[in-house]
Structure 1
């Protein structure tokens, strides 16, 4: 069994409490460390905290209510009783957060490994192992090696003791290159300032290469500005979920009365709220489950637009309009589920762009014109997408996402 040992032994540089309890995104740094440990495959969580903190006790109680095996210890001697010789322990030092690449490496079969970086002036904050390397605060060890720590003094740092144990056992070392360190392989958060810098970097690096022009140049910048404020409200994702579904239902009701502009405006607002919620989910600190909100909202949008098409059609044009509407849905579905090409991303339509086209058509004329325009636009995008995909398959040298 894999055990996660997460340290809360050091206070932040501002003296406000353990580094792991610094606020980050919608929770704390500790939440992100626990999330990383879950992805390691850890089944038990042990928190090393020499001084009891109410926030940690509340976190442990919440984890136990969710069915997790969580405990906290105050000293190395207490630590030994929670692990057997058959267990494997992964230690995260104070303020240390690995990136996805290291998480994937540790999520495989248990292996002993010590993560290090070559000695350089910019890595002075990390503990030195020898003349050539410094330890990055992550070590994976067989729990049987904890026996060597039974007699160490309580005032010793467990992290340093684990490091000495790993070095004496000739534990294999994984050396992280300067390039990977520069790309954020290890985040070392020590204060509110470094937490803020980490947050800004994560916001800056939010994936946007697959966004079309509406998302990339309008919605994504607005979301990046809004997220820091939304993170201060832990219930913000639930509020956004409620708003998006409520807007979808309201849009469907107004569509039933034939108010095209009002209906499409509500649907667009609901879709934008869901887009913001999806962006927040990238930083979700809990175990991710299947999100049905987007699917429900898409069904509400499709139903509402179908109702508007019925209202806007005469007996003569009804069949043609419905056929074009179904073609539009098929185009969007194929574009969403297809392989896609990064070169086409900027003009690739999605549900929000289609709603904007329909809204403009409803303001300046019949919504049927918007259906035809959106179907033509999505159809051309689909043809280009498939053509570029086929062209790239014939020329493997062309990079695809």
Structure 2
């Protein structure tokens, strides 16, 4: 069952009295954007952001979320909250500046009835709001419409999030306790400054380092692991994923120059590096909880690699190889390869690496033949795997 999410974006950061916690940079975006994408990934179908003042950073964050198809609205007063809050579904309440591991957000998204994520009182949990003598609120809660609107009716000028939490505690709702390890390792945190946000981002990105979409070929076996290693560093440098993708496209275009000058292996090596940058851009999108591009933008770099193969081959066999590789590339990108193992899928990166090996021993023509046999076998594996 779907639900809505209520986020807070009104508390100032420790860095500046004019800045908001919600506008701190986190995982390639503002912190409130990351919270919104977490809620959407957990099942939320609309996002309500409570604000005291609408800043340019918040407006831009809303524009970016809306551009990705996320229904989002800014709430400035209780009248607007009463009007826009859903009356037929639960809400997921996330505290201002809270960073919660996606697994906890997902568990609250699947919970039935009112529930609070809590942590035992300790030095590690000191930044969180105390709810009784032994526990503190860990920054996220799932609340029913009855509890939400029953509390809104009496709220006045009080803090909505904390008042809702206190009402939930008084009602005796179910509590889910966070392990202390999550607090100590930064998977559950309340950030007040950019320095804290950067430290927590390292913990979050390292947890998700082994995740991501499973595709095939050298892109999966070699380039994706390398991308997982370098992407957290690039993210901490606050380099957007789109800039990395543009750099990949530019490098692929530059690689065609040595190809034309018959510096074939140099051009192939540059194309492999461009494919690595494209994989890194995908990984940055995944870390930021965005969906990697699936349209034409995703195929620009592989297409340039195929153009290079066509220029170097200059034969009917090279043309056939490029056409088959184009088909396999689209199937691989759109996860249409069935149960075929990653090593069974021949991608542009696989072909480039194979041709580099053969080129090093002056057997490039034989390399094209082997690549053709390999891609035919890859197509057969995909067809047979889907049939099985």
Gapped regions of structure 2 (runs ≥ 5):
215-219, 376-388
The 5 A counterparts of 1:103-122 are 103-108=105-110, 111-122=113-124
The aligned residue for residue 21 of structure 1 is 23
Gapped regions of structure 1 (runs ≥ 5):
312-317, 379-401
Q: State the secondary structure of the residue aligned to 1:85.
A: coil
Distance 1:205 1:140, change over 3 A: closer
**Are 2:364 and 1:367 aligned?**
yes
**Are 2:272 and 1:268 aligned?**
yes
Deviations 1:253-303 (A, max 9, x none): 947x86533542342233122122222222235455535555564455356
Distance 1:50 1:299, change over 3 A: closer
Distance (Å, rounded) in 1 between the aligned partners of 2:267 and 2:114:
59
**Are 2:286 and 1:282 aligned?**
yes
Q: Tell which deviates more after alignment, 260-269 or 369-378.
A: 369-378
Q: State the secondary structure of the residue aligned to 1:355.
A: helix
> What RMSD, in angstroms, separates the aligned Cα atoms of the two structures?
4.5
Distance (Å, rounded) in 2 between the aligned partners of 1:86 and 1:331:
45
Distance (Å, rounded) in 1 between the aligned partners of 2:83 and 2:224:
53
Deviations 1:234-261 (A, max 9, x none): 741451463366468x37x947x86533
TM-score with structure 1 setting the length: 0.71
Query: Does the 8 Å CA contact 1:47/1:72 hold for their aligned counterparts?
Result: yes
Deviation at 1:71, TM superposition (A): 2.8
The aligned residue for residue 4 of structure 1 is 5
The 5 A counterparts of 1:138-149 are 138-145=140-147, 146-149=149-152
Query: Does the 8 Å CA contact 1:115/1:135 hold for their aligned counterparts?
Result: yes
Q: State the secondary structure of the residue aligned to 1:121.
A: coil
Deviation at 1:27, TM superposition (A): 1.5
Deviations 1:306-325 (A, max 9, x none): 664456xxxxxx98x99999
Partner residue of 2:246 out of 236, 239, 247: 239
Query: Does the 8 Å CA contact 2:249/2:300 hold for their aligned counterparts?
Result: no
The aligned residue for residue 385 of structure 1 is none
Query: Does the 8 Å CA contact 1:362/1:370 hold for their aligned counterparts?
Result: yes
Deviations 1:128-183 (A, max 9, x none): 222232111111111222223333341x3222101111112221111222244456
Distance 1:70 1:275, change over 3 A: closer
Distance 1:263 1:171, change over 3 A: same
The aligned residue for residue 379 of structure 2 is none
Q: State the secondary structure of the residue aligned to 2:268.
A: helix
Distance (Å, rounded) in 2 between the aligned partners of 1:234 and 1:214:
16
Distance 1:278 1:30, change over 3 A: same
Distance (Å, rounded) in 1 between the aligned partners of 2:239 and 2:328:
39
Partner residue of 1:134 out of 98, 121, 136: 136
Deviation at 1:23, TM superposition (A): 1.1
Deviation at 1:64, TM superposition (A): 5.4
Distance (Å, rounded) in 1 between the aligned partners of 2:48 and 2:120:
30
Deviations 1:6-48 (A, max 9, x none): 1112111223521110012322111101111222332332211
Distance 1:351 1:183, change over 3 A: farther
